[in-house]
Copies of this chain bind each other. A is one copy, B any other.
Amino acid sequence: MILQSHPLDIAHGRIEMSHGAGGRAMVQLIHQLFAQAFDNPWLAQHSDAAVLPALQERLVLTCDAHVVSPLFFNGGDIGSLAVHGTINDLAMLGARPLYLTASFILEEGLPLRDLKRIADSMAAAARAAGVAVVTGDTKVVEKGKGDGVFISTSGLGSVRAGIDLSASRVQPGDCILLSGSIGEHGIAVLSQREHLDFDTPIASDSAALHALVAAMLDSGARLRVLRDPTRGGLAATLNEIAQQAGVGMMLQEAAIPVQPGVEAACEFLGLDPLNIANEGKLVAICAWEDADQLLQAMREHPLGKHAAIIGKVVEDAHCFVQMTGKLGGRRVIDWLAGEQLPRIC
């Protein structure tokens, strides 16, 4: 009742320190902005935690912090990105995503309309994926001690018996598949941040991959491992798998889909698409006999229609990831020692 008498001025208001102080202003923000966006029976429990029904299957738990800059970019924003990223971490283990949590670290001065836009986008992304944001937390830091909004999410899912995806199951001879073209997310965020205008505006590929994964699991192909090539790009993801599995990899550059706009931007910026973050793509490794069947299942899903077999797993005591170039010649694909694109997710 207290809350109804002080409506938030979302059009003109800004985050103040009081919005994180545990008093009325915080309760007002939570009720009028977050609870309205995320509305669901668990949030309506009004506790600091959500009581959820028992699940009969193994559980999968993940978490992510999101510090992307700028907050809004072509193809998404920090809110939808947080939801997609967390769902994808669950999906890569073959889990069905069920529940999300969201912690917000807000900088004093943040326009409330930006926060509302982000919360609404998060809620829409969660609803589209069939998951609920069941509990949350809000903290406020002084101007100059944060950067607009940071969002930390965690995700809980469940995984069917018999599904066991792990790099340790990868073996020489296996095929490496990629669900689509690489580099869009990183280039989209970078071009927004640096105000680069490319002829073809590049949109982030940010998307929830759990339905694609479900189709892949249903295909019957013997999947070894799934990973989403986010920070560090395809190069880091493949090197990580190679190291964990104790194998090498041999890729075909010509088989790796890259949009012409991304290729041009990378050339202009001196970047390699292999190192650029993706937020709606996955790498799958499966038994070679099942690769065509898996590829077909991927291509039948909208998020996998440009899927390709990009290489194979080989024996290699050095765990090198190598690539045969479009003009022949072979090079080692290393992961980067340091930073290429900061604040990309």
Q: Restricting to A134-187, which residues have a CB under 8 Å from any CB of B?
A: 134-142, 144-147, 150, 152, 154-159, 166-167
Known contacts A155-B49, A335-B24: A63-B103 contact under CB 8 Å: yes
- Bin the interface of chain A by size: 35 or more
A53 within 8 A of B: yes
A51 to B156, CA, bound (A): 10
Closest residue on chain B to residue A66 by CB atoms: B139
A53 to B197, CA, bound (A): 49
Q: Name the segment of A111-119, A122-130, A228-236 touching the other chain.
A: A228-236
CB–CB A105/B150 < 8 A: yes
A55 within 8 A of B: yes
Q: In the complex, what residues of B have CB within 8 A of residue A103's CB?
A: 63-65, 152, 154
CB–CB A23/B54 < 8 A: no
CB–CB B167/A46 < 8 A: yes
Q: Which of the listed residues A22, A66, A90 has the most CB atoms from chain B within 10 Å of its own CB?
A: A22
CB–CB A25/B337 < 8 A: yes
Say which residue of B63, B135, B336 sits within 8 Å of A102 (CB atoms). B63
Return 10 A-B CB contacts under 8 Å, by A number: A21-B340, A23-B338, A45-B166, A55-B59, A61-B156, A63-B152, A65-B139, A67-B141, A139-B150, A154-B154
Question: Interface on A for B, CB 8 Å cutoff?
Answer: 1-2, 16-18, 20-27, 45-67, 69, 89-90, 92-93, 95, 99, 101-105, 134-142, 144-147, 150, 152, 154-159, 166-167, 227-228, 230-233, 236, 240, 243-244, 277, 335-343, 345
| List of 6 A-B pairs having minimum Cβ-Cβ separation, nearest first | A22-B231, A22-B232, A152-B152, A49-B62, A18-B338, A154-B154
